[in-house]
Each structure stands twice: as C-alpha cells, then as structure tokens.
Amino acid sequence: MNQQKNLKKVHLPFVVPIKSNKVGASELKPIKHPATFQKSLRATLLVGQVFSLLPVEGVSSKSASKLVFVWCSWKCIYLLLSLVGQIFITAMCLCRVLHNTSSLNITTPVIFYGTTCVTTLMFLRVAMLWPALVRHIAGVEDQEPYYDKNLTYKCNATCAVVLSLALMEHILSLLSAFAGAMVCYGENLSHQNFVKHFYPWVFNYLPYSFLLGVLTQFLHVQSTFIWNFSDLFIICMSYYLTSRLEHVNKQLLVAQGKYLPEIFWRTIREEYCRAAQLVRKVDDVISGIIFISFANNLFFICLQLFNTLEDGIKGNGECSSKGNPSGLLGGYEAASYFLFSLVYLITRSMAVSLIASQVNTASNVPATVLYDVPSPVYCVEVQRFLDQVNGDNVALSGLQFFSVTRGLLLTVAGTIVTYELVMFQFSTQPQASDATSTAATLQL
C-alpha cells in the first residue's frame, strides 16, 4: 500500500505535461494556426481542378461547411467534357488496334488513355464524397487539434516537385517527337505533319483540322498530368494521415516506461481509435485511385524495362533509316526522353509506395511503448490498446485487394523481375522475335 501511494505521488505529475500538449500556451505560442486538412491540401486540390479533377466548390475556403458538390457547376461540366474527350481518344486507339496486327506498341495507348478515363471517373466519385469526408475530418480536428508546421510545406513542396518533373518529362517527349518528325518530313514539317506523326491513332482515320489537332494535344497533356496527379494526391493524403498517427505516437513516446494512471491510457487509446477510423474513412473514398495508380505504374514500368531489354536505349523512330536526326539535343532527344521517363517513373512509383506505407508503419509504433508499460500500472486499458494495435490492420488499400505496406514494394519488385524474365525469354524465341521486334517506347 505504501509503495502504491509513493508511485502516485512521484509519478502522477508526468500526466500533466502530456495533456498540456494540447493547450500549453508556452509551447503553442510560436504557432498561430493548427495544421488543418483543408489548409494542407489546398494548393494540391486547386492544381487538380486545373486538370478537371475534383469538381468541388469551396476548396479554397477555410470552413468545411462551405464545401459542396454541384452537378451544374462549371467545374463539373469541365470534368464531363474532359471525360468525353478522353473516351473519344480511347475509342480511336481501339479502332487502330482493330485495324492493325495486335502488338505491345499499338495496345499501349489504349491502356494509357483507358486508365485516364477510369481515373477521371474515380475522382468524380471522390468529389461526390469529398464534402462529407472533410466535415468528418474537421470534427476530429476540433476534438484533437495538432500543430504540425511542416505538413503544409511538405504537401506544397511535393506538389511543386512532382508537377515540375512531369512538365519536364512532357517537354522531352515533345522534343523527341519533334526530332522524329523532322527526320520523316524534313523541311516540309508543319503542325499537320507533326500531329499526324505524334497521334497516328487519331489522324490515320480522321481528316486533319487545326482545331482537332489542338484538342488532341490538349487531351494528351491532360492525360499525362492526370496520371501524375493521382500519385501526388495519394502522397499528400498519406502525409496527413501519417501526421495524425504520429501526433498520437509522440505522446506515447514521452510516456514510455513511466508510471501513469489508467485514465491516461484510456485517453490515448480513444485518440488512436479516432485516427485509425479516419484512415479507414479516407481509404473508403480514395482506394479506387490507389488501385488504378499502382496498376498503371506497374504496367508502364514493365513496358519501359521490356523495351530497354529488347532494343536498348536507342529511341530510334520509324523514319530513322531516312537520315540522321539533328535537333536541340544533337539527335539524342528520344534517348534522353526514354532514360528520364524510366528513372522518373520508377522513382515516383517508389515514392508513392514508401510514403503511403508510412500510414501502416506509424500505426504499429504504439505496440513498442505498450510493451514497456511497468507492471504496477498495467491495466485493462493497456491490454485493450495493445490488442487493437496488434489485431487491426490500419493501412491504405487498393479497393481492399492489397494493403499498402513496406513489404508491398518488394512484392511489386519481384513481380516486375518475373515478368521481365518471362517476356525476355519469349522475345528471344524465333517464332516470337518477329512479333516483338517492332516494340518501341510510347512517347507520352
């Protein structure tokens, strides 16, 4: 009895500084505003709306009550018109497949534009559920406000880096296409010849017009940035969810090994439950985007690596036999684009996997602290907390087909290696060599 009284007298003050993290004036004085969900993702969502995604009104507002999805808004009309254009391009690619011998080079545009259509539809579904999701997040933030100064900076910096690299990749693809068109047409190169060379799946079946050429180029740029924005969106959402879980972990790490009463473990457990529930609600909304993003990245990594193994980094166009190309990069435009695109694609895919997997990693941190709870203060709340951490899988997923964890990256890498070995073996066989010798990099 005396020992228990001494424990309470000596160790009870440890509870005060942990709870005071929420209201301590001395610690919160340098920070003017809490890190809210809307503030952190504002710039990213506005960029997405430029490319017709997430047609939600009130994204730039600070209040969650001003968010609303309206079918008869210009943002929603913009998305629907873009979707019609993407369906048109996909249909033209399918028409080309039906009128030609099926090969990897011909079917790749169908997959690229087809996944763009699916991604646009997924973002339309997200937009319909977005106001309710943000209001739920705002309610959690009102209960448990936290102050992460780096959250908004990380989201905005990642947005700038990803979009800058995507723009650079697209510029290199244009330079590569322009150099290839120069070899084919020489001094007769014009806008008509350029778009016919770059978009054969459209202008092999439709007559050329300047308006159709500009529209096709716009839809191609839009598709490229939608693909990149999907990964950017997943990264920024993962930043926020990881930050919420780390807010709980910081309080637990301060309390590690200390003698704290049962009410403390109950409070932290309930806060962890709210963070875990938030992950599940977000996953219900964006799991479709995660699935299509991972599938798209996996396919194009395999495609680029297959082209590298079979043809090397040459980037020779179909008119390469007519002469030596000369351009801004001295004839190395196609090779430069191919190499940059491959490295950028692999790096971006790894970044999405690792950053999204941090949600699952952060959710497992409390187990280490709970195992160190001293025996005299071990209670039912600690046991319930430990059972929940070990028994519940808190992670983002792709339509519940897979969970994004650190081990997923190794699984995907093993799948890519297996695919490349099988495809390379088939490509070396005599009966398959003729069918695969024309495979080249799709200039996206």
d(CA 367, CA 222) in angstroms, rounded, equals: 44
CB neighbourhood size of 440 (10 A): 20
- The percent of residues in the chain predicted with pLDDT above 70, rounded, is 81
Res 104 pLDDT > 60: yes
Residue 27: which residues within 8 A CB-CB, separation 6 or more?
20, 21
pLDDT score for 160: 93
DSSP letters, 167-182, are HHHHHHHHHHHHHHHH
Per-residue pLDDT at 10: 38
Q: What is the pTM of this model?
A: 0.84
Query: In terms of pLDDT, which residue wins out, 148 or 392?
Result: 392
Top pLDDT among 372 and 420 is at: 372
Position 311 scores a pLDDT of 59
Is the confidence at residue 436, as pLDDT, over 50?
Answer: no
**pLDDT band at residue 422 using 50, 70 and 90 as cut-offs:** confident
Q: What is the pLDDT of residues 193-239, one digit of tens each?
A: 888 888 888 888 888 888 998 999 999 999 999 989 999 999 999 99
Q: How confident is the model at residue 347 (pLDDT cuts 50, 70, 90)?
A: very high
Point out the least confidently predicted range of 24-38, 85-99, 380-394. 24-38
Instruction: Flag whether pLDDT at 278 surpasses 70.
Output: yes
**Residue 1 pLDDT > 80, yes or no?**
no
> Of 163-177, 199-213, 283-297, 426-440, which gets the smallest average pLDDT?
426-440
Q: What is the pLDDT of residues 125-135, one digit of tens each?
A: 999 999 999 99
Place of tokens 């695969």: 436
pLDDT surpassing 90 at residue 141: no
pLDDT band, residue 314 (cuts 50/70/90) = low
For helices 333-363 and 210-254, give the axis angle rounded to 10 degrees.
Answer: 30
**What average pLDDT is seen over the chain?**
81
Q: Which two tokens stand for residue 276?
A: 């875990």
Q: For 299-321, b where at least 16 C-beta lie within 10 A, e where not — what string?
A: ebbbbbbbbbebbeeebbbebbe
Percent of the chain with pLDDT over 90: 38
Name residue 165's amino acid.
L
**pLDDT of 325 above 60:** no
- Whether the pLDDT of residue 146 is over 70: the answer is yes
Position 76 scores a pLDDT of: 92
**Which tokens go with 282?**
């977000």
Q: 241 — phi, psi (to 5°)?
A: -65, -40
DSSP code string of 341-386:
HHHHHHHHHHHHHHHHHHHHHHHTHHHHHHHT--GGG--HHHHHHH
- pLDDT tens digits, 26-66: 344 444 567 788 888 999 999 999 988 999 998 888 888 88
Quickly state the pLDDT bin for 279 (edges 50, 70, 90).
very high
Asked if pLDDT for residue 302 goes beyond 80, the answer is: yes
